[in-house]
Amino acid sequence: MSIQEAPRKAISRLSLHRTRWGLLISAIFVVVVILAAVFAPLVSPYPPAAVDLLNVNSAPSAAHLLGTDALGRDTLSRMIYGARTALYGPIFVILLSTILGVILGLWAGWAGGIIDAVITRIFDIVLAFPALLLAILAVALFGKGLTAPIIAMSIAYTPYIGRLTRQLVSGEKNRQYVSAYQVQGFAPGWIATRAVMPNVLGVVGSQTTQNFGYVLVELAALSFLGLGIQAPAADWGNMINEGQSALVAGNFLPAMIPSLAVVLIVVAVNSIGGWLSDKLGDPFA
Amino acid sequence: MKNKALKLTAAAASMLMLASCGSASGSMVEKPVMNLTDSTPAAAGELDTLKWSLYAEPYSLDYAYAFDYSDNQVLANICEPLLRLNPDLSVAPGLAAKWENPTPTTWVYTIRKNVKFHDGTTLTPKDVVASLNRHLDPEVGSSWYSAFANVKSIEATGKDQVTITTTKPDALLNESLSGAAGVIESAATLEKLGGDYGNASGGVNCTGPYQLDEWSSGEKLSLSSFDEYWDKDLAPKAKKLDFVVMTDPVARVNALKSGEIDGGWMIPSNAINELQATGTGQMYFGTNSAVSSLVVSNPEGPLGDARVREALVRSIDRNGLVMAAESGYATATDSLTAQGVWGQQPKKVQEAAFDQLNEYPYDLEKAKSLVKEAGAEGREITITTAPMGNNFNVVAQATAAAAESIGLKATIKTVTPNAYTALFSDPAAREGTDLFFTNWYLSVGNPLEMFSIMRTDDFSNYGGFSSPKYDKAVNQALFSEKPEGESKNLLEAQKILNEQLPWLPLYETPTTLWMSDRVTGTDVSVNYLYYPWAAQIGAK
Percentage of chain A modeled with pLDDT above 70: 92
The pLDDT of B49-70, averaged and rounded, is: 92
Query: Does B10 reach chain A within 8 Å, measured CB to CB?
Result: no
Fill in the DSSP letter of residue B183.
Answer: B
Q: Which residues, including other chains, have CB under 8 Å from residue B473's CB and lie 6 or more apart?
A: B451, B489, B490, B492, B493, B496
Q: Which of A214-218, B46-50, B245-249 has the highest mean pLDDT?
A: B46-50
Angle between helices A197-224 and A236-247 (to 10 degrees): 30
pLDDT of the residue at B15:
42
Calculate the CA dihedral of residues A61, A62, A66, A67 and round it to 10 degrees.
Answer: -40
Res. A97 pLDDT band, cuts 50 70 90: very high
Is ipTM beyond 0.85?
no
The pLDDT of A24-28, averaged and rounded, is: 93
State the burial class of residue B188 (Cβ atoms within 10 Å of its Cβ: 0-12, 13-18, 19+).
middle
Fold of A17-44+75-280: MetI-like fold (1.10.3720)
- In chain B, residues with a C-beta closer than 8 Å to the C-beta of A256 are 15-16, 19
> What residues 343-382 of chain B have any CB closer than 8 A to a CB of chain A?
none
Which of A244, A93, A255 lies closest to A161, judged by CA? A93
Torsion over CA: B436, B440, B446, B452 (sign):
negative
Res. A209 pLDDT band, cuts 50 70 90: confident
Distance CA B57, CA B338 (A): 27
Q: What is the DSSP string of B224-261?
A: EE-TT-S-GGG--SEEEEEEEE---HHHHHHHHHHTSS
A231 and B8: CB-CB below 8 Å? no
Res. B23 pLDDT band, cuts 50 70 90: very low
> What residues 313-342 of chain B have any CB closer than 8 A to a CB of chain A?
317, 320-321, 323-324, 327
pTM for the model: 0.82
Torsion over CA: B132, B136, B137, B143 (sign):
positive
The pLDDT of A49-72, averaged and rounded, is: 92
Minimal Cβ distance to A57: which of B4, B23, B389: B23
Q: Which residues of B287-296 are buried (b: 16+ CB within 10 A; e: fewer)?
A: bbbbbbbbbb
Res. B232 pLDDT band, cuts 50 70 90: very high
In chain B, where are the structural domains located? 289-508
Phi/psi for A186 (5° steps) reads: -70, 145
Nearest CA in chain A to B254: A248
On the question of pLDDT at A7 being above 60, the answer is no
Task: Look at strands B409-414 and B380-385 and give their pairing.
Answer: parallel
Whole-number mean pLDDT of chain A? Answer: 88
pLDDT of the residue at B485:
62
Res. B482 pLDDT band, cuts 50 70 90: low
Distance CA A235, CA B163 (A): 61
Fill in the DSSP letter of residue B90.
Answer: -
Which residues are B53's β-sheet partners? B244, B264
Ramachandran bin of A113, using left for φ above 0, alpha for ψ from -120 to 50, beta for the remaining angles: left
Query: Tens digit of pLDDT for each residue in B179-206?
Result: 999 999 999 999 999 999 999 999 999 9
Distance CA A80, CA B397 (A): 19
CATH class of B289-508: alpha beta
- In chain B, residues with a C-beta closer than 8 Å to the C-beta of A17 are none
B23 and A67: CB-CB below 8 Å? yes
- In chain B, residues with a C-beta closer than 8 Å to the C-beta of A56 are 26-28, 323-324, 394
B15 and A264: CB-CB below 8 Å? no
Query: Tens digit of pLDDT for each residue in A173-208?
Result: 889 999 999 999 899 889 999 889 988 988 898 888
Nearest CA in chain B to A70: B324
Mutate to test the interface with B, among A26, A51, A55, A272 (most CBs of B within 10 A): A51
Q: Which residues, including other chains, have CB under 8 Å from residue B381's CB and lie 6 or more apart?
A: B301, B302, B303, B403, B408, B409, B410, B411, B434, B435
The pLDDT of B201-218, averaged and rounded, is: 95
B29 and A71: CB-CB below 8 Å? no
On the question of pLDDT at A248 being above 90, the answer is no
Minimal Cβ distance to B19: which of A16, A231, A252: A252
- Tell me how close the Cα of A176 comes to any Cα of chain B, in angstroms: 41
